[in-house]
Chains A and B, each alone.
Chain A
């Protein structure tokens, strides 16, 4: 009987002593929805130990301000931004607990915005990402963005439909399906993989124009050093998407006989072929295949059913695709000299021995990437011309 009581007592003690230690009620948590990382203005830290001082800004959601009907929100602000400066994210984070009554809770984090300046400093980008990758409280699905200008400004911008700027940013960058000139959001899990690989990569960039969010272009980061080496503009990003075959939709605009035809991409595929004779004679062929619809036709003088006219439209589109892709290749290969197109992987699969020879000097050192020949081929198909053949020419009377 005594033994029995002892066992029972130990069970109770287990429960009471171990239980509840990490219980934090939901309303006591500070939900971090957005993080902005900037370089600190120099005067504060004074670079005491040579480390670059960084400024961390957290956007905490204020549930009450988000306004459910019962709590009558709206008077309160929906979010609270707090900033801190220090030499490591974790330290700043701990320090920030002093600024808010609610302990920051990262499991609902949506976006991490890194300023371009920070990403340009050697080693700093990977350093700042470390805690977001390492900490078990962080989700692998957090989106990582590069910001033009001060990234903390993005957390203060106007966001009409969403009450939280972070949520607005998150939902806008997910709109890739409607726009060919932005790339798929990059999640922190992917960043982890990119940091571990030696491949160069791109991150989506955002910028503020008149306190309005603009989402276009990408930042190009060098694989070995993880330093931002340049950015691609809207058109170049489109070209990047074409080459990598990552566009599933998007619109572009061609000129046929002086009239605009708007082509809506429905399906795009690309294939990179590699002809590797020696390390100084590398030839890549990018074939882009595209299917799409005629969304708008300002000309309409000619019959869309007419095979010849359609062929003309298609060849125009092909020309346009080639132009755009070539523009991207020129920029990436000749100017930035960084392989974000995935040619390295293709070469590795085609001729592994050769790849082993050039691996260390692929887009650095001798830079065989920049020296290789790239050829672009395009094939565009118009699948649907729409339900109208002509809309304004005077044929039907």
Chain B
């Protein structure tokens, strides 16, 4: 189903010894020998030879065991060949026989003719079946792909209380179907690429023609075509290859497991990148504001959506600044803490042997360790270890007088706040930057925090995602887009697509249409 041009390194998979022909010959035996030689007699290569027609014309079907759907190959190809062509008088020319087989015999939807050995090998290595006929240098290539796949499940990393429960799977075909089911528009475009010199993974660039700005598609295509690697096991490879700045701590292309999120992005004038073998779909261009948006904001009524979104902005602030502010205030500017709080912080810190920055960084690292360990551990004990570890370590450290109780509160609050962000990758960057702020605070106090904040601001207003400034619609201001930024205006007011993607078709959407 995913036949397309192979971009790079055409034929580079062949071994150096040129002891077989690249082109198909008219002799079936030579063809089969060539194929066997090319793949070096793999044990899972199945060559089924048979004769058809009254004249006992020799032919063969070739596939790789495990990649094909046995039901299709046995029932729709082999059986038809054997039963319908038995004792039938076939046309005299071999080309006509091949034509008849293609048109009348094989009950598979995708069949086409191939001319080269590469066509055959590429096809059978991705689950196709090739039909060789003796006496002609052409083959039929049939799509019989069929292997065990995961069924559609609820996305684990992005579960919602309210909203569709289906998430993307590893199979790109299923993923495309999922998107098609959301956008039944004739302008929905899927452009297919093959990435990976060796893996030849299917990659699909999806966009809605007429909504997306052509420059975005053009730029994405240019970048996708520049990809040159052996394998792309996950869409993270694609993301890192095509992102604007690899030095930035911020992710410039967001990923999601949710088809509703992708379809909403497509309708906003963005493009999506699907990669075979991963449930994570990239949406580009992405902006900082997008990282605070969750589909649920739109599924709940706008009051709720707005409040939750504001809460997330608060959470982002806490995740990034709270430990740094604590350090700055405690070590440099205790005058800015309300008196009684200052006294109680001083009381709890009495006897703590470390300066607050050491305390904060070590607790922060402990927190990250616990998180990392929690991911590695099996799910059943992972949670327990996480909670118990946190409690025990936190409590014991306080009891032992190594850290102050307020520090534990600060660290815990920071961790909770960072996990409240809907985008995991941006939460990670925030947590990372947090350490920078801690060091700045420990060196220069609040002044240092402000300085680093300015530096960070300079960076993010410079940052771009596929040419779209990262801080839109904040920094290049698109006032109309603010309706769906910190607040989430009622859906009846959100009738226009965001301006910052410069959609071709900015005319009002249908009222009530879902939009992200």
Shortest B247–chain A CB gap in Å is 14
Chain A positions 56 through 80: 1 when the CB is less than 8 Å from some CB of chain B, otherwise 0:
0000010110111011010000000
The docked-state distance in angstroms from the alpha carbon of A167 to that of B342 is 14
Instruction: Report A1-59 residues with CB < 8 Å from chain B CB.
Output: 15, 18-20, 22-27, 29, 31, 33
Chain B residues with CB under 8 Å of A18's CB are 444
> Per a CB cutoff under 8 Å, which of A19, A25, A33, A68 touches B339?
A33
Shortest B439–chain A CB gap in Å is 9
Shortest B327–chain A CB gap in Å is 10
Chain B residues with CB under 8 Å of A68's CB are 344, 347-348
Chain B residues with CB under 8 Å of A139's CB are 335
The docked-state distance in angstroms from the alpha carbon of A241 to that of B143 is 96
Q: Indicate if the CB atoms of A26 and B443 lie closer than 8 Å.
A: no
Quick check: is A110 within 8 A (CB to CB) of the other chain?
yes
Chain B residues with CB under 8 Å of A108's CB are 334-335, 339, 342-343
Shortest B183–chain A CB gap in Å is 49
Shortest A277–chain B CB gap in Å is 53
Q: Indicate if the CB atoms of A66 and B443 lie closer than 8 Å.
A: no
> Chain B interface mostly helix, strand, loop or mixed?
helix
Q: Indicate if the CB atoms of A29 and B334 lie closer than 8 Å.
A: yes
| Stretch of B127-135, B185-193, B350-358, B382-390 contacting A (4+ beta carbons < 8 Å) | B350-358
Q: Indicate if the CB atoms of B442 and A20 lie closer than 8 Å.
A: yes
Interface size classification for chain B: 20 to 34
Chain A residues with CB under 8 Å of B355's CB are 23, 25
Q: Indicate if the CB atoms of B331 and A71 lie closer than 8 Å.
A: no
Chain A residues with CB under 8 Å of B330's CB are 25-26
Chain B positions 445 through 471: 1 when the CB is less than 8 Å from some CB of chain A, otherwise 0:
100100000000000000000000000
Q: Indicate if the CB atoms of B350 and A31 lie closer than 8 Å.
A: no
Q: Total number of A-B contacts with CB less than 8 angstroms?
A: 82
Shortest B83–chain A CB gap in Å is 75
Q: Indicate if the CB atoms of B339 and A27 lie closer than 8 Å.
A: no
Instruction: Report B315-373 residues with CB < 8 Å from chain A CB.
Output: 329-332, 334-337, 339, 342-350, 352, 355-356
Instruction: Report A63-115 residues with CB < 8 Å from chain B CB.
Output: 63-64, 66-68, 70-71, 73, 105, 107-108, 110
Q: Indicate if the CB atoms of B347 and A66 lie closer than 8 Å.
A: yes
Quick check: is B405 within 8 A (CB to CB) of the other chain?
yes
Chain B positions 427 through 444: 1 when the CB is less than 8 Å from some CB of chain A, otherwise 0:
000000000000000111
Residue on B with the closest CB to A166? B339
Residue on B with the closest CB to A67? B347
Residue on B with the closest CB to A73? B347
User: Given contacts A26-B345, A26-B346, are A20 and B443 in contact (CB under 8 A)?
Assistant: yes
Shortest A158–chain B CB gap in Å is 20
The docked-state distance in angstroms from the alpha carbon of A43 to that of B352 is 44
Chain B residues with CB under 8 Å of A19's CB are 442-444, 448
**Chain A interfacial residues counted at CB < 8 A:** 29
User: Given contacts A15-B443, A70-B398, are A23 and B346 in contact (CB under 8 A)?
Assistant: no
Residue on B with the closest CB to A65? B347
Q: Indicate if the CB atoms of B443 and A22 lie closer than 8 Å.
A: no
The CB with the most chain B CB atoms within 10 A, among A19, A23, A61, A167, is that of A23
Q: Indicate if the CB atoms of B331 and A25 lie closer than 8 Å.
A: yes
Chain B residues with CB under 8 Å of A31's CB are 334, 339, 342-343, 346
Chain B residues with CB under 8 Å of A63's CB are 343-347, 350
User: Given contacts A24-B331, A61-B343, are A70 and B350 in contact (CB under 8 A)?
Assistant: no
User: Given contacts A27-B350, A27-B352, A70-B405, are A105 and B334 in contact (CB under 8 A)?
Assistant: yes
Shortest B338–chain A CB gap in Å is 9
The CB with the most chain B CB atoms within 10 A, among A19, A25, A73, is that of A25
The docked-state distance in angstroms from the alpha carbon of A27 to that of B445 is 16
Chain A residues with CB under 8 Å of B335's CB are 105, 107-108, 137, 139
Residue on A with the closest CB to B350? A27
Chain B residues with CB under 8 Å of A70's CB are 348, 398, 405
Q: List 5 A-B contacts (CB under 8 A).
A: A19-B448, A25-B356, A70-B398, A71-B348, A108-B335
Q: Which 3 A-B pairs have the closest CB atoms?
A: A107-B335, A19-B443, A63-B347
Q: Which residues of A contact B (CB under 8 A)?
A: 15, 18-20, 22-27, 29, 31, 33, 61, 63-64, 66-68, 70-71, 73, 105, 107-108, 110, 137, 139, 167
Instruction: List 8 extra interface pairs beyond A25-B355, A64-B347, A71-B348, CB under 8 A.
Output: A22-B445, A23-B445, A25-B349, A26-B356, A71-B347, A71-B350, A107-B334, A108-B342
Q: Which residues of B contact A (CB under 8 A)?
A: 329-332, 334-337, 339, 342-350, 352, 355-356, 398, 405, 442-445, 448
